[in-house]
Structure 1
């Protein structure tokens, strides 16, 4: 099962004269309400959106176009921010949702970053690799260059203001007037399908068989689902990314566990019997022989593992004549012999009379 949908983060690029910022006494903080980036997660099953935030890193890369001999001065939380110093940026999930959806403004991205002197301050805004097993991100568009232009608001008082902000693509250093785009893509999700079959001349097709499916390599604390007929049931992985599901199946019933992450592993038990790869004639409960096909225990590259477990119970067909029927057969033979003798006797008598 494959999803090719793209998750888009739109970065609104601002021209060099777009923002006029309020002035502080000696330093200025970016306080525009303009949106630096927005993010939404779409076309993924809602139960997989157990993501409370998406992290980005703002890295200071240097200052140019300073005034005379005045050095650039930028601080974060009151401490000097050196070249290659970093600032964490977090996009939290919107209230009432289970996935990051909302905006990061210039003000929040540059929270507690202060500029004290004129210059063009350059930063790189980078999306941190996601740890969610259900998503990947495009490394070719994982970062954008953000430049903050700071100028004198009052050269005499030496107060400064933010004159404008631009966003550029680092691959070609061109300002992106329509905003940069971070591309997030849903990974190929795998499916585990389990089908029950019952066979043999003593098999009970109404019998219910109990299975235990144990999954590992899931997204920790994420909710998944399986379908059985028209019914959907959810289950939640633990903090280690493991889950155990108990399922009851009759003959010809199937259960499908959906949206499992790439690299997940699984084990299956029918009662106390371990299902193994291409298992043959394993003794099961109630006189059934258990066989299985399609099992390998691993899910990769968005594949579907179709596991079929067959329980067979067959009675041996009786050949030859049972001893209990011999007296009846003997009686019939004797009766037949008597009738034959009577016919012969009568024929001899008739021949004698005619003579």
Structure 2
């Protein structure tokens, strides 16, 4: 039994991600290519974001190697930076975890969709395997506690990733994605894909990205019914719906006339659809009540979402000292020292 599955046997496990979107908002990487150059160009910024997620209650420091693979770096002409990017991301995650004096924070290596896998192209399978193998080797050398494999729309690619990830000798999480069809790209429902991944040796299976809480949760429940092991649910923090099941499909009827011609709301105009911290807390509660124990946030998620999840699951985090308390607000508060004139003003707000 690995460290992650041991924890999941005992309690909920919170996994904060969302680095790509959060660092793009802060101006440290580019939407579109979404390459984590911040790892090398502004490592102190990434270190601070790790720290913020740690303070908010994340149980895992995930190395920011998402989209830091050979194909992504090739696109921007920086393939020669692959190894230093990977190794520095792993180091930063380990250093952040070490700030947890309890020693309970786990470090995760991270591999994701390569965008070069095609089911009928055997050469692409070899390329994908090589990309996964080198990333897993760096993660294993860094001594990670588990490998997080995610954002996989092809089951075939997920099975290759799992084979390589198992070579690290630690727990492996494999998360799939579904877009508007509700299926993986082979036409397989996520519960069937997760059952195959579990049978192939994945320690935890589930979903991440693409879908928000409202449209991911029903599929997570189907996965929970289909598998015997632990399940992960790590949605984007956007209000998806039956009409717009993925955040790529979101259309803003109020704001799209302000967008450049032909531009979708995804990825840079989703602000109006962001979930509140309370919505994310409610998602985590329903997951845990349905025995889906690995929960967290993906694209769009911030430390405030993570803190709300942690508090909903009964934890007090370092950041909880700053959780909202409206009792001393000048107009909305209930503290007896507040001036009644200000409280009367509330009626006109």
The two structures have a TM-score, normalised by structure 1, of 0.21
Largest Rg, 1 or 2: 1
Which structure features the higher share of strand residues? 1
Which structure features the higher share of helix residues? 2
